[in-house]
């Protein structure tokens, strides 16, 4: 590398460093201390600084090029456009700025979205961590130490050096161990899970059922036989004991003299029937029945066995309102209104379905929706159904048409008040078995993209923009703003190269021959130049935004891309001619 090349690299690197330092200082000043945890402060400042630096890079770069060619780059004697000297003089800067342009394209396409995502993740993590802490404390107050310990542990993943929380975790674990609380969330049925907890093999379960049967302990016999069948439905012995236990339970009341015991027995039998029914409303009633029994007969072993099963069963068909109360502090998206994508079997159907969600909470236990309203109508505005629901829980499952969908379960159970919140149909109706569930024809992650639509597209990463361009039409949003934004992202690297070349031309034309005496002005210019240039650059990009909007709306995206590239090529040619003219005039 010759002397000029070294000078260029030093000047560019210095200006970049000053710009980066300024953005870091600005980030330190802007640090949202009330939202982001102190442990994440350095990361937030660093990544916000990186994201902002890339945003202001065109300004910093043009400032650097102007200063370089105006103050530092010696060009020797004049060169005419026809001279080989011109080609030689242009070669170095062109190579350098092309490399910088390519790096800038990578920075805009990959590093800036990554930095912005990291920065945003610190905000999200902080909100999440604080909400976890709040939730853990609620669990602890409710005596659910194991769940509190899980939340404390999750919090410590984010803030590992927090001694106070670590002490709280240790305390919660100790209390949980003392209580021997069990928790085995998996996808098996409630009976299968209980069976695995109870015994390592089906044979042992059958043996226990047989022993209980001999002792005329019909509930225990029924319990173990039912668990054995859950693991091995073909086990004949278990089936026989189950039938005998059922019969025993039925006849037990007739031989028992004590009325109170008979009543208890009846209540247990009724509760068990409800649990075995496996229908939504029955399971909710079963849960309440076992909860009552547990309160009335705290020492009854049968009830202790069945209550956890009822609890798990109810959570399959509904969710507890208390989950939302605990999730209140988690990050929230507001005001989602969208067309619920086309039905796979009827993509061109005249039927439209719209959903509105007032608030979507992104909690550790799942995604919760508050203030839900959905309407489906056909041609001529004829309403097929229209529902409102106060609460919902979003779960991702495979839909019946093969894709991945979100299902909004709108049946919420209030454990304290013993009420069930179901969707209220204002008009029309749906099949009763699915009336409390709404299929949202999108994975949950995409739903968050729709929620982010209100934040504007200018802060979205390119991959998100590409995804939005794909999904927006399905959800009823205009796709043209996304195409314009994508066009603007493509424009950025081209613009940097054009700015570089015009910067060379103007720098040479307006160069100082009094470097020694201009030093003070140089320092002053270093700080004023970017502010002035930033106004011009913002104006330049706005002009292109308007042009792109016009082209996308009038010619479509492909036509707009072609015209945009042609204009960029023309500007590039003009910039090259300007450089040549400036050099030849030197």
Partner 1 sequence: MKSGLAVALYYLGAFLALVLLISGVHGMALWSRFYDQAAGGLPFAALLPLIMRGIRPALVLGAVAAAFLSLFRLLRLSGPPAVALSFLWVLLAASLLVAVAAVELPLQLPPPASEPVRAPAAGVLLRSPQVALYVGRREGTQLRDVLLWRASAAQAGSRNGAAGFSVHPRASYDPIIGAIQFSSPPGTVMLSDLQGGPWTIVEPPQLVSGMLNDARRTAAPLTGLARTDRLAAVLTVAALALIIVMSWVIVRLTRWPLFNAILAIGWLRLLLYLLPVSLDQTMLQALGRLMPLANFPLSYLPALLLAAVGLLLLVVSVVMPSFSHWKREVNGG
| Residues near partner 1 (CB under 8 A) | 66-67, 70, 334-335, 337-339, 352, 354, 356, 358, 371, 373, 375, 377, 379-383, 386, 388, 390, 424, 426, 454, 475-478, 480-481, 484, 506-507, 509-514, 517-518, 521, 524-525, 528-529, 531-532, 534-536, 538-539, 542-543, 545-547, 549-550, 553-555
> 142 vs 524, which CB is nearer to partner 1?
524
> 39 vs 452, which CB is nearer to partner 1?
452
> 207 vs 512, which CB is nearer to partner 1?
512
In the bound complex, what is the minimum distance in angstroms from residue 117's beta carbon to partner 1?
23
In the bound complex, what is the minimum distance in angstroms from residue 426's beta carbon to partner 1?
5
81: helix, strand or coil: coil
Instruction: Give the span between the Cα atoms of 119 and 43, in whole angstroms.
Output: 7
Instruction: Give the span between the Cα atoms of 215 and 73, in whole angstroms.
Output: 101
The two three-digit tokens of residue 302, written as one number: 């049968």
| Contact of 439 with 446, CB cutoff 8 Å | no
> 153 vs 435, which CB is nearer to partner 1?
435
SS (H, E, C) 218-261: HHHHHHHHHHHHHHCCCCHHHHHHHHHHHHHHHHHHHHCCCHHH
Closest-CA residue to 155 (of 123, 125, 119): 125
37: helix, strand or coil: coil
In the bound complex, what is the minimum distance in angstroms from residue 19's beta carbon to partner 1?
16
In the bound complex, what is the minimum distance in angstroms from residue 501's beta carbon to partner 1?
16
In the bound complex, what is the minimum distance in angstroms from residue 521's beta carbon to partner 1?
5
In the bound complex, what is the minimum distance in angstroms from residue 452's beta carbon to partner 1?
13
Could you tell me which residues are beta bridge partners of residue 406? 396, 440
In the bound complex, what is the minimum distance in angstroms from residue 569's beta carbon to partner 1?
19
In the bound complex, what is the minimum distance in angstroms from residue 364's beta carbon to partner 1?
27
β 352-363/412-414 pair status = unpaired
In the bound complex, what is the minimum distance in angstroms from residue 539's beta carbon to partner 1?
6
| Contact of 396 with 404, CB cutoff 8 Å | yes
| Contact of 157 with 280, CB cutoff 8 Å | no
In the bound complex, what is the minimum distance in angstroms from residue 439's beta carbon to partner 1?
18
In the bound complex, what is the minimum distance in angstroms from residue 524's beta carbon to partner 1?
8
SS (H, E, C) 159-225: CCCCHHHHHHHHHHHHHHHHHCCCCCCCCCCHHHHHHHHHCCCHHHHHHHHHHHHHCCCHHHHHHHH
User: What is the b/e burial string over 393-430, where b = at least 16 CB atoms within 10 angstroms of the residue's CB?
Assistant: bbebeeeeeeeebbbbbbbbbeeeeeebbbbeeeeeeb
> 54 vs 65, which CB is nearer to partner 1?
65
> 256 vs 538, which CB is nearer to partner 1?
538
| CA atoms lying within 13 Å on the CB side of residue 7 | 15
> 232 vs 328, which CB is nearer to partner 1?
328
In the bound complex, what is the minimum distance in angstroms from residue 368's beta carbon to partner 1?
17
> 168 vs 495, which CB is nearer to partner 1?
495
Instruction: Give the span between the Cα atoms of 132 and 126, in whole angstroms.
Output: 10
Give me the helices (H) in 472-518, please: 480-509
> 324 vs 484, which CB is nearer to partner 1?
484
> 194 vs 453, which CB is nearer to partner 1?
453
Residues whose CB falls within 8 Å of the CB of residue 427, separated by 6 or more in sequence, listed in order: 383, 385, 386
Closest-CA residue to 407 (of 426, 393, 386): 393
Instruction: Give the span between the Cα atoms of 53 and 71, in whole angstroms.
Output: 24
> 255 vs 348, which CB is nearer to partner 1?
348
Instruction: Give the span between the Cα atoms of 496 and 101, in whole angstroms.
Output: 6
> 307 vs 475, which CB is nearer to partner 1?
475
């Amino acid at each position: 590398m010759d002397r000029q090349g070294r000078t260029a690299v030093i000047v560019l690197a210095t200006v970049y460093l000053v710009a980066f330092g300024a953005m870091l200082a600005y980030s330190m000043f802007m640090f949202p201390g009330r939202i982001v945890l102190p442990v994440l402060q350095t990361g937030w400042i660093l990544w916000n600084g990186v994201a902002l630096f890339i945003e202001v890079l065109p300004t910093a770069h043009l400032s650097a090029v102007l200063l370089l060619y105006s103050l530092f780059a010696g060009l020797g004697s004049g060169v005419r456009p026809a001279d080989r000297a011109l080609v030689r003089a242009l070669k170095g800067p062109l190579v350098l700025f092309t490399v910088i342009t390519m790096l800038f394209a990578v920075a805009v396409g990959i590093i800036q979205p990554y930095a912005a995502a990291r920065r945003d993740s610190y905000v999200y993590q902080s909100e999440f961590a604080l909400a976890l802490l709040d939730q853990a404390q609620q669990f602890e107050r409710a005596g659910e130490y194991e769940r509190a310990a899980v939340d404390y542990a999750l919090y410590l993943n984010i803030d590992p050096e927090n001694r106070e929380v670590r002490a709280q975790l240790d305390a919660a674990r100790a209390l949980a161990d003392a209580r021997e609380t069990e928790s085995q969330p998996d996808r098996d049925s409630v009976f299968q899970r209980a069976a695995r907890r109870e015994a390592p093999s089906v044979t042992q379960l059958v043996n226990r059922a047989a022993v209980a049967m001999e002792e005329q302990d019909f509930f225990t016999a029924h319990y173990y036989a039912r668990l054995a069948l859950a693991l091995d439905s073909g086990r004949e012995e278990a089936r026989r004991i189950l039938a005998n236990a059922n019969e025993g339970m039925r006849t037990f009341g007739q031989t028992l003299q004590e009325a109170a015991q008979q009543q208890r027995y009846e209540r247990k039998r009724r509760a068990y029937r409800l649990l075995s029914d496996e229908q939504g409303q029955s399971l909710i009633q079963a849960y309440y029945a076992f909860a009552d029994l547990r309160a009335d007969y705290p020492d009854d072993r049968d009830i202790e066995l069945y209550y956890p099963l009822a609890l798990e069963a109810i959570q399959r068909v509904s969710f507890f309102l208390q989950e939302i109360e605990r999730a209140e502090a988690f990050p929230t998206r507001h005001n989602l209104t969208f067309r619920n994508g086309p039905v796979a079997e009827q993509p061109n159907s005249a039927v439209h379905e719209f959903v509105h969600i007032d608030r979507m909470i992104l909690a550790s236990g799942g995604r919760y929706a508050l203030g839900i309203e959905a309407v489906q109508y056909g041609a001529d505005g004829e309403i097929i159904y229209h529902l409102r629901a106060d609460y919902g829980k979003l779960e991702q499952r495979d839909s019946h048409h093969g894709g991945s969908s979100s299902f909004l379960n709108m049946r919420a159970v209030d454990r304290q008040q013993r009420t069930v919140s179901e969707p209220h149909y204002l008009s029309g109706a749906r099949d009763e078995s699915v009336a409390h569930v709404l299929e949202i024809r999108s994975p949950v992650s995409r739903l968050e993209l729709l929620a982010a639509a209100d934040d504007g597209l200018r802060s979205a990463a390119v991959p998100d923009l590409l995804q939005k361009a794909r999904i927006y039409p399905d959800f009823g949003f205009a796709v043209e703003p996304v195409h314009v934004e994508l066009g603007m992202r493509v424009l950025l690297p081209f613009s940097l190269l054009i700015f570089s070349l015009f910067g060379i031309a103007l720098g040479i034309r307006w160069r100082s021959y009094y470097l020694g005496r201009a030093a003070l002005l140089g320092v002053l210019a270093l700080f004023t130049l970017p502010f002035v240039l930033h106004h011009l650059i913002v104006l330049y990009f706005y002009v292109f935004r308007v042009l792109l909007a016009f082209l996308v709306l009038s010619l479509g995206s492909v036509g707009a891309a072609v015209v945009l590239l042609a204009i960029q090529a023309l500007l590039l040619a003009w910039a090259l001619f300007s450089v040549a003219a400036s050099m030849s005039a030197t």
